[in-house]
């Protein structure tokens, strides 16, 4: 058996068995499969799909491709949450400390920016000194001592997914339901989470264009998680417009801090608290009302912000940056973006995400450094009425990029009438 044999079989739309999937994943993990072969396999899966059993086998093989993090000795319930990717989605930075401050531990492996979407690790690393490269032992220790840890996969943890994730980012194979499901769930199953929540995005700024496709992905991931013995739920949510009022790493960390301080009320805050309450219910058996009261209390009391600072400090971060925005600087150039006609505002999340990436906030190749300072700060939200010539956003950049500028200006449109789709479409599992 060779890697090429497996690619050929999937190219011919045939079903791979467990032995073949394990062989391929081992080749990815040990480096014997080249990036070109991984890309060919991913494209074959994207074009030809996978059976549910194939996807489950791929997920388990990837989860077992490296060293699993041992469960801490201290006990307690562990929760994990994952978003399939969106624009201005910093919910993890809010949800993790909220839950940890309420006694529900969160030990989470996250990813970097993928395509036009921002990555949680990139955002956290905006905090000076903070590292997301934690050994399994350090990850376990922080989970037990702090109750909150967000880190990246090391070479020891899910190495097969780490390689496939990087290749997918630069080969137009991001939006494959089996590859998304196996990537997400392999990281979840490699950790020790008891309860798992999946935020599956749909719309212009998501990899799933329709709520029906998003629900298909949600049900597949819930099925994989449940079969593996984890209590799993998924929320299908809208990503037509940016979730928050900031796009870009430093700007988004600033906004997450504002939410944790109770200083921001928008879709980002609403969805973060919705997710936190749902996970709290799954972890504790609390009622809907009890959970909502608890998470809002964590914000009001300052406990959630304090826990975020504690987590950041444990990972080497300079917590002064959470108090002093100048330590999370925005790019040196700022341009006001205006609309030409009065009306109800619509904002294209995909266009803004792509613009941010082109300004330096995203990657064009695996491992590329990004510019944490570039991005956008929205002055108006989708669905608001605006006047002709009114400034609706600020664009921060360090170098000119005609394509990025064109995308940014084109992201804002007005119409006589416009009604944004509901933020939460469906919840499944749990």
C-alpha of 152 from chain center: 12
CA angle 112, 108, 154 (to 5 degrees): 60
161 is an active site residue: yes
The sign of the torsion formed by the CA atoms of 63, 68, 69, 73 equals positive
Q: Work out the angle between the directed axes of helices 35-48 and 18-30 (0-180°, nearest 10).
A: 140
In 3-state terms, what secondary structure has residue 119? coil
For residue 82, indicate whether it is catalytic: yes
Residue 371 is a catalytic residue: no
Q: Does the annotation count 201 as an active-site position?
A: no
Q: Is 362 exposed, middle or buried (0-12, 13-18, 19+ CB in 10 A)?
A: buried
Q: What is the DSSP string of 189-214?
A: HHTT-SEEEEEEEESTTSSB-SHHHH
Catalytic residue among 105, 123, 162, 187: 187
Q: Which of 182, 183, 186, 191 is catalytic?
A: 183
Catalytic residue among 81, 82, 116, 123: 82
Q: 263: exposed, middle or buried (C-beta count within 10 Å: 0-12, 13-18, 19+)? A: exposed
Sheet bearing 343-347, strands edge to edge: 385-386, 343-347, 412-415
| The pair of three-digit structure tokens given for residue 347, joined into one six-digit string | 């904002």
83 catalytic residue (yes or no): no
Give the pairing of strands 343-347 and 385-386: antiparallel
Q: Which of 161, 169, 348, 371 is catalytic?
A: 161
Q: Where are the beta strands (DSSP E) in 14-102?
A: 78-83
Find the catalytic residue in 116, 168, 354, 372: 168
Looking at the annotation, which residues are catalytic?
82, 161, 168, 183, 187
């Amino acid at each position: 058996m060779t890697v090429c044999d497996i690619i050929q079989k999937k190219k011919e739309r045939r079903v791979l068995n467990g032995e073949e999937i394990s062989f391929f994943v081992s080749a990815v993990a040990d480096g014997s499969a080249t990036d070109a072969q991984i890309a060919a396999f991913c494209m074959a899966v994207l074009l030809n799909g996978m059976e549910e059993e194939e996807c489950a086998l791929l997920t388990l093989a990837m989860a077992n491709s490296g060293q699993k993090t041992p469960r801490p000795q201290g006990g307690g319930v562990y929760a994990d949450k994952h978003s399939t990717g969106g624009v201005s989605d910093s919910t993890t930075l809010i949800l993790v400390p909220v839950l940890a401050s309420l006694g529900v531990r969160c030990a989470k492996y996250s990813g970097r920016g993928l395509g036009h979407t921002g990555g949680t690790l990139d955002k956290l690393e905006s905090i000076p000194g903070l590292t997301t490269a934690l050994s399994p032992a350090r990850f376990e220790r922080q989970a037990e001592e702090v109750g909150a840890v967000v880190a990246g996969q090391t070479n020891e943890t899910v190495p097969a997914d780490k390689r496939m994730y990087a290749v997918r980012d630069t080969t137009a194979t991001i939006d494959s339901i089996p590859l998304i499901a196996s990537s997400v769930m392999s990281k979840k199953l490699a950790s020790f989470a008891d309860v798992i929540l999946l935020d599956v995005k749909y719309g212009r700024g998501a990899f799933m264009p329709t709520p029906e496709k998003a629900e298909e992905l949600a049900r597949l991931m819930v099925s994989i998680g449940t079969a593996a013995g984890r209590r799993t739920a998924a929320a299908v949510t809208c990503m037509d417009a940016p979730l928050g009022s900031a796009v870009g790493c430093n700007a988004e960390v600033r906004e997450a801090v504002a939410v944790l301080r109770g200083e921001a009320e928008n879709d980002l805050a609403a969805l973060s608290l919705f997710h936190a309450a749902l996970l709290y219910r799954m972890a504790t058996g609390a009622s809907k009302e009890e959970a909502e009261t608890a998470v809002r209390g964590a914000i009001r009391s300052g406990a959630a912000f304090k826990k975020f600072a504690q987590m950041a400090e444990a990972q080497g971060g300079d917590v002064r940056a959470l108090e002093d925005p100048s330590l999370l600087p925005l790019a040196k150039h700022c341009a006001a973006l205006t609309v030409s006609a009065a009306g109800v505002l619509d904002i294209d999340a995909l266009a803004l995400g792509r613009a941010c990436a082109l300004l330096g906030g995203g990657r064009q190749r695996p491992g590329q450094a990004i510019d944490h300072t570039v991005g956008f700060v929205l002055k108006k939200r989708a669905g608001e009425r605006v006047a002709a010539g009114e400034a609706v956003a600020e664009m921060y950049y360090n170098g000119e990029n005609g394509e990025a500028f064109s995308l940014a200006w084109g992201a804002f449109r007005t119409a006589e009438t416009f009604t944004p789709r509901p933020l939460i479409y469906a919840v499944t599992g749990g």
